[in-house]
Amino acid sequence: MIDLIPAPQKVSWSPPAPGYESLDADTHLEARAGTEGVARWLRATLGAATGLPFPDGNHTDNRIVLSVEPDLAPEAYRVVIDGYARRIEGGSAAGVFWGAQTFRQLLGPDAYRRAPVRPGQKWELPRVTIEDAPRFRWRGLMLDVARHFMPKDGVLRYLDLMAAHKLNVFHFHLTDDQGWRVEIKRHPRLTEVGSWRARTKFGHRASPLWDERPHGGYYTQDDIREIVAYAAERHIAVVPEIDVPGHSQAAIAAYPELGNTDVIDTTALSVWDTWGINPNVLAPTDNTLRFYEGVFEEILELFPADAAPFSSFVHVGGDECPKEQWRRSPVAQSRIKELSLADEDELQSWFIRHFDAWLTARGRRLIGWDEILEGGLAPGAAVSSWRGYQGGITAARAGHDVVMCPEQQVYLDHRQDGGADEPVPIGYVRTLEDVYRFEPVPPELAPEEARHVIGTQANLWTEVMEDQGRVDYQAFPRLAAFAEVTWSALPPPAERDFAGFERRMGAHYERLDALGVAYRPATGPRPWQRRPGVLGRPIEGAPPNV
């Protein structure tokens, strides 16, 4: 039995009867043209786990051959272990890399460790041929580092976890009301002031509990360059999110002139220390536009368009922008009149359209949450459909590309079980099986409309995830189920073999253990994973953000 996750399209024994062969100190590595980066990754990763040197060589059957094969689709791969040279083939370097991830799984859970744990261990491979390709091009994970900061090493670790699950888009949520996490040299107060808050609400916003310690952190520009390069080596695109015009109190706290100064005293604002939808939004002024153009100029330099497929995208947020300050603001009302706009919704659309045109002129593509549909969708923009499927359906029917991430299905901050022991229970109960039965393409879409669903992503909002262990708990094992949904050619949700997936997870838990992932056990949280007495948001159907 070969327990692979995500499940490949085709596995056959070669020869027809099962057999095994071993890697050893004499196993060579041959990297043909275009696979040099994969060879570096394989030698570093499997070399560390096995203690084997994998020297260069092409004169023995006891070798691993990496090659790009034109008969395969770009991300497709073929792994052949048949008693001769082991072959990992792909339609591109990315396909070879995904094949190498499968090859690693075949070696067993100890292949996921950073050093050998059993001297003299035999590294056996089953004699199989595996042929595989992904269902979706965009297979994403959104990580919110604004609510709770994750240090750089933790981000690099999550890129490795994504790669191990064949996910290829890292949506990097860098700014929000509760913190600004990326260094912008022309606006240094964004990190000097905006990257930390004096205290933090512990639990739901109605909770009486506070963590009175200051919380903060940010990534230097060289940190960002390192993260992007590390991701690109793993064929993962990093899509930065800089929120406009809502979710911006951290920026306004740093530069009060960005806010609606004719309505409130913005100099009294600090980085927000609680959760929810914040009323303090950016002013629709030329000064604000120029300020954020400067921000995006530096963002484009840090996140080059050619780093990986989908690296041309920049996420601008665009969600949950309350309009009350604009309704009261003479400056905003004058802007509405000047532009002949119907209302505040169209003012937000104008704001988004401005940056869509600005990014397009620089060879980039704007993507935003489905609120950017309100008041008119920016031409050329793509949509992250989070408030259910409807925004994505509307956008796809209008010819816009869509990433499906409905919060009812793939918001992994939502609790995994209805039991009282779940830590800080938030929102909908979404079990491992619920995620496994998620279907990204709505049946309402005609085939030509469905082609605009370029993929899907799972989202990790970190209001109640104060450290890496909490992020792990919310992400896993559900992210493994999501990875199979986005990669594998699964049948319709009701026909999916969840029992078979659970069986394969038995082997996958051992891989997660070797990786040090603090996942939720199938039997429920371990004692130290609970948060007794911390109020969550357990009401089904409550507003989506904590």
Residues designated as active site: 176, 247, 320
Q: How many residues in total does the chain contain? A: 546
Q: Residue 7 has which token pair?
A: 């499940």
Across-strand partners of 56? 29
User: Tokens for 232?
Assistant: 């690109």
Taking CA atoms, 161 is separated from 293, 298, 308, 516, in Å, by 33, 28, 18, 11
- Backbone CA torsion sign across 482, 486, 491, 493: positive
380: Cα within 13 Å, side-chain hemisphere? 17
Backbone dihedral region for residue 329 (phi beyond 0: left; psi -120 to 50: alpha; all else: beta): beta
Written as one letter, the residue type at 162 is M
* One-letter amino acid of 278: N
CA distances from 486 to 418, 433, 435, 453, 460 (A): 26, 15, 11, 12, 16
Amino acid making up residue 260: N
- In angstroms, the first-to-last Cα distance of the chain is 43
What distance in Å separates the CA atoms of residue 211 and residue 196, rounded to the nearest whole number?
13
Task: Give the C-alpha separation, 25 to 52, whole Å.
Answer: 5
Q: Which helix (H) or strand (E) holds 141?
A: strand 138-144
- Going through 439-504 in order, the beta strands assigned E by DSSP cover 453-460
Burial of 39 (0-12, 13-18, 19+ CB in 10 A): buried
